[in-house]
Amino acid sequence: MTDTARSSTERSLRDRDPAEASVESGRSGRGALPFDRVRALGSEIITVVGRVIDGKPDAIRTALTVMLAEGHLLVEDVPGVGKTVLAKALSAAVGGTVNRVQFTSDMLPADVTGVNVYDQSSGTFRFAPGPVFANVVIGDEINRTSPKTQSALLEAMAESQVTVDGVTRELPTPFMIVATQNPIDMEGTYPLPEAQRDRFMARIAMGYPSVDAEREMLRSRGGGDPLEAVRPVVDLATLTAMIRTVRTVHLAPDVEAYIVELVRATRNHPDLLLGASPRATLHIAAAARARAALEGRNFVIPDDVAALAAVVLAHRLVPISHGLGASADDAVREIVLRIVAETPVPFTPAAAAS
């Protein structure tokens, strides 16, 4: 997208009907923050987490974007590259309650959601909440547990609630799962089913650090663990206000059409056996709103959508030449990037006339 086209598109997306803006603000903006404040807080959170995760600003920004978009994040890579540390550092920087689950092959669903325990003194059952009852739940090595236990997270991820013995209990708000997993071609792993992968708003890979970042890691950890020095940048009330602000970000009809075209292109692509679901459409729109807010804008531009397409869509897609491991993931990512490159960028009538 050229600078002239980007400028004219931004003007048309910004110059919407004041009455429409007023209605939108009244519907979901109560308790929201100014957009420049969201940008400043977001930048501070990214800086604080970046002191723990060296050389990975894009991964940190994506994780924060997913959090503000009220989604869940899947972090996939080989052991030891900082997947769990990223989740812990982000959790520490935003306040709220945090629980960590180390998934193993012998875990049961009740180990995640909770269980009713018989109280002999009262002769009744009482509910003992599982670790899923927290604002941020770190699911470490989620693909090392059985599909039965993995499925225990489905209701929590989709509806922010769990049902145990016929009783439904609401989870804290905001609620986010940051799950880490090892590549599925490693020993002792179970591939996540498509239904559960689809519930993750985005998937990122950490990758190995650069030479400079790895040397900085050696220096910064010589005097102790930098994770212990992380203090909350925002409290739970401020984080909730940031999320409310994201909900008010305007999504113009032309940008909505652009999102739909991208998602539908995955369903008709000759190299894909399974395309993106309607849930993916909602997820990429929500993530684009969060990205816009983190840049201080109250409207989404096509660049927001294009920048997030690969991390939001790729993990949901199944190529026809289905393989396991990094080769299949790389192939799907390349398909998404080609779709983005080939899909026309929308222009509103106002932009076309300028």
Domain encompassing residue 10:
1-30+250-354
Same domain? For 80 and 207 the reply is: yes
Q: Which of 119-123, 146-150, 252-256 has the highest mean pLDDT?
A: 252-256
Peptide bond preceding 174 in cis form (omega within 30 of 0): yes
Predicted confidence at residue 206, as pLDDT, reads 86
pLDDT digits (tens, 9 = 90+) for 69-113: 999 999 988 777 888 888 889 989 998 888 999 998 899 999 999
- The whole-model pTM stands at 0.85
Same domain? For 155 and 282 the reply is: no
Q: Which tokens sit at 190? A: 């179970």
Asked if residue 145 has pLDDT above 70, the reply is: yes
User: Can you tell me the mean pLDDT for 169-192?
Assistant: 81
The answer to whether the CB of 157 falls within 8 A of the CB of 137 is no
The better pLDDT of the pair 216, 309 is held by 309
| Residue 135 to residues 11, 38, 72, 226, Cα–Cα distance (Å) | 37, 20, 12, 23
Same domain? For 294 and 180 the reply is: no
Same domain? For 351 and 254 the reply is: yes
Asked if residue 22 has pLDDT above 50, the reply is: no
Structural domains of the chain, count:
2
Secondary structure (DSSP) of 69-100: TT--EEEE-STTSSHHHHHHHHHHHH-S-EEE
Predicted confidence at residue 175, as pLDDT, reads 93
Q: How confident is the model at residue 10 (pLDDT cuts 50, 70, 90)?
A: low
Same domain? For 228 and 267 the reply is: no
Same domain? For 121 and 226 the reply is: yes
User: Can you tell me the mean pLDDT for 325-329?
Assistant: 66
| Residue 199 to residues 79, 120, 160, 164, Cα–Cα distance (Å) | 23, 40, 12, 21
Same domain? For 198 and 273 the reply is: no
Q: Which tokens sit at 351? A: 């932009």
Query: How far is CA 264 from its chain centroid?
Result: 21
Residue 18 identity? P
Query: How far is CA 138 from its chain centroid?
Result: 13
Same domain? For 68 and 145 the reply is: yes
Secondary structure (DSSP) of 212-268: HHHHHHHHHTTTS-GGGG---SS-HHHHHHHHHHHHT-B--HHHHHHHHHHHHHHHS
Domain containing residue 304: CATH number: 1.10.8.80
Predicted confidence at residue 8, as pLDDT, reads 47
pLDDT digits (tens, 9 = 90+) for 25-68: 333 445 789 999 999 999 999 999 998 888 889 999 999 999 99
Beta bridge partners of 181: 76
